[in-house]
Copies of this chain bind each other. A is one copy, B any other.
Amino acid sequence: MRDVEPILWKGGRLSLLDQRRLPQRETYLELRGARDTARAIRSMVVRGAPAIGVTAAFGLALEAARFRSGHLRDDFERAAGVLLAARPTAVNLRWALERLRETAAAVGQDAAPRTLAAALRKQALALYREDIAANRALGAAGARVLPSGDVLTHCNAGALATAGYGTALGVIRAAWSSGRRFGVYATETRPFLQGARLTAWELVRLRIPVTLITDGMVGALLATRKVAAVVVGTDRTAANGDVANKIGTYTIAVLARRHGVPFYVAAPTSSIDLDCASGDDIPIEERDADEVTHIRGRRVATEGVRVFNPAFDVTPAELVTAIITEQGVVRGGDRTGLARAVHAAQRHR
């Protein structure tokens, strides 16, 4: 079966698999510039830290076709600002735009707009390919440390959350591809149901056995069944190893600790933010109340209720067994190891 392609870049055109409609419908939306790309990211047509980084890069490259001669820097920064504002928590958005900024600087502000646009398209495509390669390296590294037995994952850190292959699911599929056999428990991940709709869909396609649970069942699962490890992704990991990831992750980490289950975070170095000292510095997006009061467009909650809807939470480094990067596996809370991995990735570009 062909791999899932959340981001299609063909003949200079960008299309996104509309993840809001999965698994019921597989439809692609074509994007034309920074503004509609930002809107697609904000409304979760595409989600997952690596995927939104790469998508933003393509969006900015498309927007560059409209940059004005002599105003390249201003136009670049305006478009980058629109994209950066789309979602605050994942650092990959900032990381990808920074990579494009370096490209723009190298091209110079006196270049012809079409020269800059061509360079940005090339760089965005490089980021896309780098992301897939990083995920494959991360998956292989993770498969080497993953204990044998069933695995629990949360939200979707699969091919759909990246340019392709996946981070947490990358570890799982690398272990599976090496011939090991096990089952995966996937939390449904309210409010957006990434687990029920996206992770389960990917694993069924890969023919890896997947069992769905609601988010509240994690405690009962760990208390009554044998789970060998938890593997999740991350939207931003701070310099001290604190991990921001989809809401519900912290809850799982606390339970994993109580039950002695190792807790792994699959973190491509693009999601590690050495400028953030700790989780306290990571901005946590709060999203619309509608996401909680409604499910798939229909109201379920009573009228008149207030809502608290943080999209992410922070798992302190002390609850993290190890962080798996494409540069190798770093023990939870090992600041030096994290910095080394980020710097190694920078040298390898």
- Asked if residues B210 and A190 are in contact (CB atoms below 8 Å), the reply is no
Please give me the residue from chain B that is nearest to A213 by CB atom.
B308
* A225–B305 alpha-carbon span in the complex (Å): 18
| Across-interface contacts of A23 in B (CB, < 8 A) | 301-303
* A225–B212 alpha-carbon span in the complex (Å): 30
- Asked if residues A204 and B304 are in contact (CB atoms below 8 Å), the reply is yes
| Across-interface contacts of A305 in B (CB, < 8 A) | 186, 196, 200, 203-204, 210-212
- Asked if residues A217 and B303 are in contact (CB atoms below 8 Å), the reply is no
* A219 on interface, CB distance cutoff 8 Å: yes
- Asked if residues B292 and A214 are in contact (CB atoms below 8 Å), the reply is yes
* A314 on interface, CB distance cutoff 8 Å: yes
Interface band, chain A = 35 or more
**Residue in B197, B299, B300 whose CB lies within 8 Å of A301:** B197
- Asked if residues B247 and A209 are in contact (CB atoms below 8 Å), the reply is no
**Residue in B209, B217, B301, B309 whose CB lies within 8 Å of A308:** B217
Please give me the residue from chain B that is nearest to A154 by CB atom.
B216
* A181 on interface, CB distance cutoff 8 Å: no
* A248 on interface, CB distance cutoff 8 Å: yes
- Asked if residues B214 and A191 are in contact (CB atoms below 8 Å), the reply is yes
* A314–B203 alpha-carbon span in the complex (Å): 30
**Residue in B216, B247, B306, B310 whose CB lies within 8 Å of A189:** B216
* A307 on interface, CB distance cutoff 8 Å: yes
Q: What's the nearest-Cβ distance from chain B to residue A291, in Å? A: 9
* A240 on interface, CB distance cutoff 8 Å: no
- Asked if residues B301 and A212 are in contact (CB atoms below 8 Å), the reply is yes
* A153 on interface, CB distance cutoff 8 Å: no
- Asked if residues B209 and A306 are in contact (CB atoms below 8 Å), the reply is yes
- Asked if residues B212 and A306 are in contact (CB atoms below 8 Å), the reply is yes
* A292–B187 alpha-carbon span in the complex (Å): 10
With A223-B313, A300-B296 already in contact, the answer to whether A306 and B196 are too (CB < 8 A) is: no
* A24–B193 alpha-carbon span in the complex (Å): 22
Q: What's the nearest-Cβ distance from chain B to residue A314, in Å? A: 7
**Residue in B186, B187, B219, B306 whose CB lies within 8 Å of A211:** B306
Within A218-238, the residues touching B (CB, 8 Å) are 218-221, 223-225
* A293 on interface, CB distance cutoff 8 Å: yes
* A201 on interface, CB distance cutoff 8 Å: yes
**Residue in B24, B296, B298, B303 whose CB lies within 8 Å of A204:** B303
* A69–B277 alpha-carbon span in the complex (Å): 80
* A250 on interface, CB distance cutoff 8 Å: yes
Q: What's the nearest-Cβ distance from chain B to residue A149, in Å? A: 16
* A144 on interface, CB distance cutoff 8 Å: no
- Asked if residues B212 and A215 are in contact (CB atoms below 8 Å), the reply is no
**Residue in B154, B217, B301 whose CB lies within 8 Å of A310:** B217
| Across-interface contacts of A223 in B (CB, < 8 A) | 250, 313-314
**Residue in B196, B212, B251, B309 whose CB lies within 8 Å of A251:** B251
Q: What's the nearest-Cβ distance from chain B to residue A137, in Å? A: 28
| Across-interface contacts of A295 in B (CB, < 8 A) | 295-296, 300
* A285–B191 alpha-carbon span in the complex (Å): 25
* A63 on interface, CB distance cutoff 8 Å: no
* A133 on interface, CB distance cutoff 8 Å: no
Q: Would you list the 6 A-B pairs with minimal beta carbon distance, nearest first?
A: A216-B248, A219-B251, A215-B216, A220-B313, A196-B301, A201-B302
